[in-house]
Each structure stands twice: as structure tokens, then as C-alpha cells.
Amino acid sequence: MKQAIRIGTRESQLAVWQAMQVKELLAGQNVAAELVYIKSEGDIDLKTPLYEMGVQGIFTRSLDIALLNNRIDIAVHSMKDVPTQLPAGIIPAAALKRASWKDLLVYKGDWQDVSSKLGYTDGQWTTPNPKPETPNPELIIATSSIRRKAQWLNRYPQHNIDNLRGNVNTRLAKVAESNWHGAIFATAGLERINLRPEQSIELDWMLPAPAQGAIMVVCRAEDKEITNICAAFNDTDTALCTQIERDFLRALLGGCSTPISALAEVKNQQIYFQGNILSVDGKQKAAIEKTIPFDAATGAGALLAKELLANGGQAIADGIQKKEVTN
């Protein structure tokens, strides 16, 4: 290419880190690149819970507009933030190799006291003994994610959930200043920028958002040169697994206000899939777990969603939709 590729990115430390990874991958092909910083709607309103904003692509739309207006040549996103239906004229150019898909709890106070309330013993998560009748919540946990909130309340109905917005640095600071017992973060986000606190524990029992831990590069559909360049660093396993997860999400008509989780992993030359949908309060849950042969991967996400809906998921989805309409 004659000119440097313009990489669109949000301004947060994590977003810039992700964009720099792509810049380095391009440099490995002797392709020059430069970063172009663009503010997203999600970076401007840091108070309203994401699930109340109800906007698809709140962290990606500004970058998509810049891409379509030819202000940038590619955009780099946390894939879990990308709507399952990309805007017309924009296509996936690459999926980077996935990092950890797990969520983690950054906790405060004495770990022995916190762990006893969470059912974490001898390095393992055990089945908790919920006490819904407890007059005062045992722990106060912060998150802006409706998915994390629902899964937490499903496991710990006696706890209380507070809203937490902002970039990684801001959220960590808020935890330190608050009366919360802890807050939930994505492991990959904290580890990528070396901000994971010592006082943190991975939530192995919590299923992630579809495509969590993966990075997506998108470009204009007609830009064949960019498409070919980015194809060189596309990770096929990550692309396949996240596509199944995103198809699952799309078939369930899920968005920021729907607690849907999905995880597809390549194991023993097959794809192991786990997914669920919960009511917002965590009281209802429908889950699915399947092993899929590679030759059945195409379209698997939609079929898995259909099976989940037929086995309890539809009633939960209808309940969420009805509540959204009445509100």
C-alpha cells in the first residue's frame, strides 16, 4: 500500500492496546499503519447502566460511521461489543487469537470472609447455600452487565448488585472508593493492560458474553486489498467459535438488555458449546451443553438457540420482552 492504513480505535487504554496489537501485526507484513482516535457513545455517558441504554453497538457505531465515511480504513473492536448484524458495507476482516474468556471478581476486604460467603473452598467453587430470607444482603457486588448480574443473582440471590460504568481504570478506582465488596471484570481486559489486582479471583462458573476475550477487525466490504492483508492474521479457531456464539446470540434476539451467555471451544478436534439465558433477576435459567463435530459447525449457533428456546428459553425470553414493553 502507498499510504499507511488508518486504524480506528476508541481512546480508552484497553482499546488503544487492542489497536496497537493490530498495528504490530500489520508491521509484521511491512505494512505501515497509524491510529485514529474516535469517541463512542458508550464513552460519553458513563452513568446510565448499559442495559438501560438499550443501544446496539454503543461502543462501535461511531467507528462504523468513520469507516463508512472513509475517515479510517479498519476499525478494531472488542468482539463482544459488536452487534451480530454488521452495518451494510462493513465486513469482518480478521479475528485475533482469543485471550481468556473468563470473568473475574475484584474483591475488597478479608478474602477468608468473602470466600466463605461465596462458597470458594480449597481452590474450588462449591455449590453455595443461598439464603434468600437473609434480611440484609451478605455482599454488595458491582457491574453494569445484565448478564453478569443475572448469573450472580442466580447463584447468590441474597446479594445486592450496584451499577458500575466507565473504562477499566475508572471502574477499578470506583471499586477502591466504594463500600462494595467487589466488582466483576473481564479477565482479558485487565490482563492485557497489566491492571489485574492481586485481590481477584476468576469466576469459573460464570459463562461469558458471546465472543468475550476476542478482538475483531472490520473493514469496508469493497476494500479487497485491506481484506487480503488482514486475512493473514485471522485466527480460524477463534473466528469459528465466536461465529457460533454470535449466531446463537442473534437467533435468541439478544442485546444489552438480555442476559445471554455462550462459549464455544475447540476440544479434541470437536467444538464444545455451552450457552444459557436467564431472567433479569436471575430466578429463571435455561441452559444447553453440546459437543459439535467440525463438519456440523456451519449454522450450529442458530440450531443451538432453537433447541434452548424449546427447552425453557422461550418463556424466559418472552418474559424479558414483555417487561421491556411495559416499562
Q: Choosing from 64, 73, 81, 223, which is the catalytic residue?
A: 81
- Based on the residue annotation, tell me whether 122 is a catalytic residue of this protein: no
Long-range contact pairs involving 116-122 (C-beta distance under 8 Å, separation at least 24): 118/156, 120/201
* Angstrom distance (rounded) from CA 259 to CA 267: 26
Residue pair 275/304 in contact by the 8 Å Cβ criterion: yes
Q: Cα 68 to chain center, whole Å?
A: 25
Residue pair 297/271 in contact by the 8 Å Cβ criterion: yes
- Phi, psi (deg, nearest 5) at residue 216: -115, 135
CA distances from 122 to 51, 108, 139, 201 (A): 35, 19, 21, 13
* Angstrom distance (rounded) from CA 127 to CA 129: 7
- Using the Cα atoms of residue 165, residue 168, residue 174 and residue 175 in order, give the sign of their dihedral: positive
Residue 12's nearest CA partner among 158, 192, 153 is 192
For residue 198, count other CB atoms closer than 10 A to its CB: 5
* Angstrom distance (rounded) from CA 209 to CA 151: 11
- H/E run at residue 285: strand 285-293
Strand partners, 126: none
* Angstrom distance (rounded) from CA 72 to CA 62: 11
* Angstrom distance (rounded) from CA 324 to CA 327: 5
C-alpha cell belonging to residue 12: 480508552
Q: Which residues are catalytic?
A: 81
